[in-house]
Chain A
């Protein structure tokens, strides 16, 4: 395999943004046909930037790129396509109001003939096992359909070198399996594939080789079957990382919130939370498992007072046992009680942060009500910002850098750090590690555990069942808005949780 010439060779690639952000430094990388290469690295380690230079979005400051051993200069995405390189970006590059077929032929020369294009698209779909309706408008599509359109678009242009930037971040496990199936078909067809990811299990499942980047520099390439998660993590992070999540015993648990008979109907009139009843205690972590969109968001938002509740009650108990009804209460008042919600949406900048403001400015969005003077107090948020940057290792030139200039994972650390810094009584987190690399994820688990030990009642909505079962004291399973059993985190089995997530019948006959 090594005797073959590389389809792509990158040599001494360096790219900087502005004067202080070095995204890539002297990176060497080889990509072979008929192989799947994982590009592994923490957030902000320059994986995407490196690949963007192959796909013509960025141009390297220095270094050389060879395609089939010939030096090339890729100045635009068009150049990349001409060289047979196609990239599926993490943020899809599709025009919403156009149909799948129109998106796929976008940018190609020649007369516009949608009928002919549709035929060719069907052909590609049959060959690799995609499922796409060429006439469907993109805004009507699910995330995984959009991703499929992106991949078909790349193949339509005859690309032999495919780059997928964190393709599984937005997919359900089933959709991920489908994607991997397609990737294997493409590999069999002799295509060179690069998958950018930070999920170690996926690396092991799909790839032949792993190239590791750390802080913009190339660390090395491993053969996947000869390595293990610990080795990869160490290479990626540069120092030993403990891959265990602690689960301290709850200390002096007291009833903090009692939800009884909660019903929530969303704007479209669909019942999102169905007669949910549960309790949450101080000093414990209640994990919530469920397929995404099963009412997790609505449940948390009703506790935070952001969601209109149909019926039911949510009682909050303070340290002395005095109860307060949260349903119908002003969200600001609820927040003053110490109920904090950090919800990380798919689009991280969409909720909670202002992209053009710097880190300390974003801290101020939460603290500005504390001030009473005419002028804002900038000192405190600045301190908070500095603390978060240090504690969570946020990669930023400084706390004055606008948040939108940070890489995705770093943006998220800022978002989570802000909620945690408020020392809440009840901390609700949803998908806090969505898109975060392993090192930052573990830092955040640690922080959540610290909150728990400090006596906060923590609700943890997560996607990764392994993590959920490791960190939670109790796991509540949601299925279609119903509470489908509350299991003990220490004894619950992944299989059972998975079953309860998908089938309401699985939880029948036994309760709690």
Chain B
């Protein structure tokens, strides 16, 4: 029970960045844009928040920090960073009709490079011995829990022990699921992703829907990066630490068959798989086995991809025009 109680919160912590990325990518893909730039966007979302809070912390000093600003500045910077990434991707693929795969991969490369460059610069500025930036004060605000969390025993530990961004992630997934399923905007967005010609002929502004959903998706995904560095990693940025979570988020989209509400459970599951190796006893003699266990999420991803590709129900297929650009006068 003890192991379980410590495992679940950690799995959730691992899962939340994936959840943000997955929800964001679902919103994007529903418009027919296959944004492979999500890993890059999450990097940019993270580093933008770090830059914002780094300068804020340095400016006012640890004692002069205001809780509201300490949260709002990185949050705003992060959203702005991923907004710009989304805008760039949309401009390239929707307006200039560049190939989506190439654009997405370039954005990932760019985003990771952008993160590492500015991360490296800030590390230089902070003149520390270790190659990291520590924003522990800001992180404290981000990971603050409700005061009752500690007093409610296992319930508090399982459900209340997370910073506000984790709940925001779950709420955004639920909201996205509701919008897609129940509202006219959702119906239109699905139509755009399935058949832009149809949507266009029905009087839906395809370009607007693609732009808005792609940018909104990027902003949601960017928050995953912010959560990772500010809450999960306790405000410590080191280059490349975010790893391949962005790719896992994209794989999760397929796993959840483009349903954001399923994404909540799926991301916690994958978050758990990600850290499962820490909980499988190997003994000191066979540490190498741990490295094998680290492969679990990737092996599961592969298996999941194989299984999902065998699904035949028409509703479970990707949006029909996923990855294709739309040009009205194309014959």
Interface residues of B in 181-205 (CB under 8 A from A): 182-184, 187-188, 190-191, 194-195, 197-204
Residues of chain A within 8 A of B199, CB atoms compared: 95, 106-107
Total contacting residues, chain A, CB less than 8 A? 31
Is A442 located at the chain interface by the 8 A CB criterion?
A: no
**Closest residue of A by beta carbon distance from B329:** A58
Q: Are A139 and B314 in contact (CB under 8 A)?
A: yes
Q: Are B184 and A102 in contact (CB under 8 A)?
A: no
Residues of chain B within 8 A of A45, CB atoms compared: none
Determine chain B's interface SS by DSSP, over half rule. helix
Is A77 located at the chain interface by the 8 A CB criterion?
A: yes
Q: Are A17 and B329 in contact (CB under 8 A)?
A: yes
**Closest residue of B by beta carbon distance from A23:** B331
Chain A proximity mask over B200-214: 1 for CB below 8 Å, otherwise 0: 111110000000000
Known: A55-B201, A89-B201, A112-B183. A106 touches B191 (CB 8 A): yes
Is A143 located at the chain interface by the 8 A CB criterion?
A: no
Partner of A76, one of B184, B203, B329: B203
Interface residues of B in 108-150 (CB under 8 A from A): none
Residues of chain A within 8 A of B314, CB atoms compared: 96-97, 137, 139
How many Å lie between the Cα of A89 and that of B200 in the bound state?
Answer: 13
Partner of A57, one of B191, B320, B328: B328
How many Å lie between the Cα of A95 and that of B201 in the bound state?
Answer: 11
Partner of B198, one of A58, A93, A112: A93
Known: A94-B198, A106-B187, A112-B182. A17 touches B203 (CB 8 A): no
Known: A96-B314, A102-B187, A106-B187. A81 touches B197 (CB 8 A): no
Is B315 located at the chain interface by the 8 A CB criterion?
A: yes
Q: Are A93 and B187 in contact (CB under 8 A)?
A: no
Q: Are B195 and A94 in contact (CB under 8 A)?
A: yes
Q: Are A17 and B331 in contact (CB under 8 A)?
A: yes
Chain B proximity mask over A380-416: 1 for CB below 8 Å, otherwise 0: 0000000000000000000000001100000000000
How many Å lie between the Cα of A17 and that of B330 in the bound state?
Answer: 10
Known: A93-B197, A97-B194, A98-B191. A404 touches B203 (CB 8 A): no
Is A321 located at the chain interface by the 8 A CB criterion?
A: no
* Distance in Å: Cβ of B318 to nearest Cβ of chain A: 11
Is A110 located at the chain interface by the 8 A CB criterion?
A: yes
Q: Indicate the member of A17, A94, A111, A137 with the most B CB atoms within 10 Å.
A: A94
Known: A57-B328, A95-B195, A112-B183. A107 touches B190 (CB 8 A): no
* Distance in Å: Cβ of B26 to nearest Cβ of chain A: 15
Partner of A93, one of B201, B329, B331: B201
* Distance in Å: Cβ of A8 to nearest Cβ of chain B: 18
Q: Are B195 and A93 in contact (CB under 8 A)?
A: yes
Can you list 7 residue pairs at the A/B interface with Cβ under 8 Å?
A93-B198, A94-B195, A95-B195, A95-B198, A96-B320, A98-B194, A106-B198
Q: What are the 3 tightest A-B residue pairs by CB atom distance, in nearest-first order?
A: A107-B202, A78-B203, A93-B198
Q: What residues make up the interface of A, taking CB atoms closer than 8 Å to B?
A: 17, 55, 57-58, 76-78, 81, 87, 89, 93-98, 102-103, 105-112, 137, 139, 153, 404-405
A57-B200, A95-B195, A107-B204 known; 17 other A-B pairs, CB under 8 Å? A57-B201, A93-B195, A93-B198, A93-B202, A95-B198, A95-B199, A97-B190, A97-B194, A97-B315, A97-B320, A98-B190, A98-B194, A107-B191, A107-B203, A112-B183, A153-B202, A404-B331
